[in-house]
C-alpha cells in the first residue's frame, strides 16, 4: 500500500505550517504498509517547548481550517513531544532531545520516505 492522495495533501498543509513556525528536520514516512489505519507520519523538531507548542498549534489550525478532523492530541501541556492524530496523517512534533531519544526514524526505517514539499524561501528585499 501507499499513502493516499488525501494523506499527501494533509502532509503538504502540515509541512508548510511547521515550516512557517520554524520547524526543522521535517521527515515524512509512509507507514501505510505496517499500520492499516495511518498513511503518513510527519516528524518535526522544535527548538524549545514554546517552539514545539507553536508548531503543533499552527499545524492543527491549518489542518482544521482545511476541513480535516483531529482525532487526538497528546503532549501539548508539556510540549516536549506533541502528537496530532488526523487519521491518515499523524504528526509528531518533538523537542530535539526527545526526537533523538525516541528515534522514530530508526523504528520505522523500513518505511519509505515521502518527499516533503516546502515553498521556496522568499527573497529579502
30-63 per-position pLDDT tens digit: 999 999 899 999 999 999 999 999 999 999 999 9
- Residue 1 is predicted with a pLDDT of 65
- Residue 117 is predicted with a pLDDT of 85
65-115 per-position pLDDT tens digit: 999 999 999 998 899 999 999 999 999 999 999 999 999 999 999 999 999
- The domains of the chain are located at 5-114
**pTM score, two decimals?**
0.92
- Core vs surface per residue 37-75: b (16+ CB within 10 A) or e: ebbbbbbbbbeeeebbbbbbbbbbebbeeeebeeeeeeb
Largest CA distance in the chain: 48
Q: Domain 5-114 adopts which CATH fold? A: Beta Polymerase; domain 2 (3.30.460)
Q: In the chain, what are the helix, strand and coil shares in percent, each to the nearest 5? A: 35, 25, 40
Amino acid at each position: 500500500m501507499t499513502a493516499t492522495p488525501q494523506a499527501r495533501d494533509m502532509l503538504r498543509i502540515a509541512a508548510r505550517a511547521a515550516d512557517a513556525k520554524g520547524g526543522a528536520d521535517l521527515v515524512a514516512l509512509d507507514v501505510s504498509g505496517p499500520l492499516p489505519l495511518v498513511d503518513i507520519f510527519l516528524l518535526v523538531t522544535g527548538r524549545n517547548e514554546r517552539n514545539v507548542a507553536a508548531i503543533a498549534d499552527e499545524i492543527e489550525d491549518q489542518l482544521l481550517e482545511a476541513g480535516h478532523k483531529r482525532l487526538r492530541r497528546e503532549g501539548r501541556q508539556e510540549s516536549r513531544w506533541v502528537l496530532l492524530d488526523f487519521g491518515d496523517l499523524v504528526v509528531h512534533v518533538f523537542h530535539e532531545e526527545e526526537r533523538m531519544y525516541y528515534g522514530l526514524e530508526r523504528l520505522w526505517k523500513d518505511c519509505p520516505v515521502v518527499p516533503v514539499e516546502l515553498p521556496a524561501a522568499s527573497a529579502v528585499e
